[in-house]
Amino acid sequence: MSNVKLAVIYYSSTGTNYELAKWAEEGAKENGAEVKVLKVPELAPDAAIDSNPAWRAHVDATKDVPEATSDDIEWADAIIFSVPTRFGNMAAQMKQFLDQQGGLWANGATVNKVVSAMSSASNPHGGQEATILSLYTSMMHWGAVIAAPGYSDPVIFGAGGNPYGTSVTQGQDGGMVEDVEAAVKHQAKRTVDVATWVKNGNQ
């Protein structure tokens, strides 16, 4: 059987969700997956980006990360999304990317994609769970198979206990408050496992 093809698709303004995406890549590769890390296009104007030095630094540091396209969705057996919360919803950059996949959806190309999601916010109850659920709502319309981590491993509790997907608080210093690396890697491995079952069942 061929290896699972995983697209880790993220949006990050100052780097937190990029770091989550990189840990997901590591975990998935440890489980034998072929992985692409991809960012969604930035929508914010330069004036907004330049007003926050950390935002500008991250944009510049990740300028060579490829942008996700519809072709990447088609290519992937599984997708892990990582996105910050904006007022309890996914960031507009991720929402626009999803909204542009209507052609794939209409052709049935999103059906049975195995998906999972992660999120961040600037305080512990800043909307992380609601953000993940907002993304999963779109995935239900896609006919995707949602691979939430649940409480499938004790590392979930060490990272704050979010059963919908790993979530983290970004502190005022820009760093992550919770230690979530192990939870992210577990979530990635679980996503690859579920995708393997789905893929092998379809062959």
| Dihedral sign, Cα of residue 155, residue 159, residue 164, residue 165 | negative
Mean pLDDT for 178-197 is 96
Q: How far is CA 56 from the centre of its chain?
A: 21
pLDDT at residue 202 tops 70:
no
Question: Residues 91-134: pLDDT tens digits?
Answer: 999 999 999 999 999 999 999 999 999 999 999 899 999 999 99
pLDDT at residue 203 tops 80:
no
Pick the CATH number of 5-202 from 3.10.180.10, 3.10.290.10, 3.40.50.360, 3.40.50.300: 3.40.50.360
pTM: 0.96
Q: Which residues contact 78 (CB under 8 A, 6 or more apart)?
A: 4, 5, 6, 7, 33, 113, 114, 115, 116, 147, 191, 192, 194, 195
pLDDT at residue 139 tops 70:
yes
Annotated domain spans of the chain: 5-202
* 7: helix, strand or coil: strand
The answer to whether 14 touches 84, Cβ cutoff 8 Å, is no
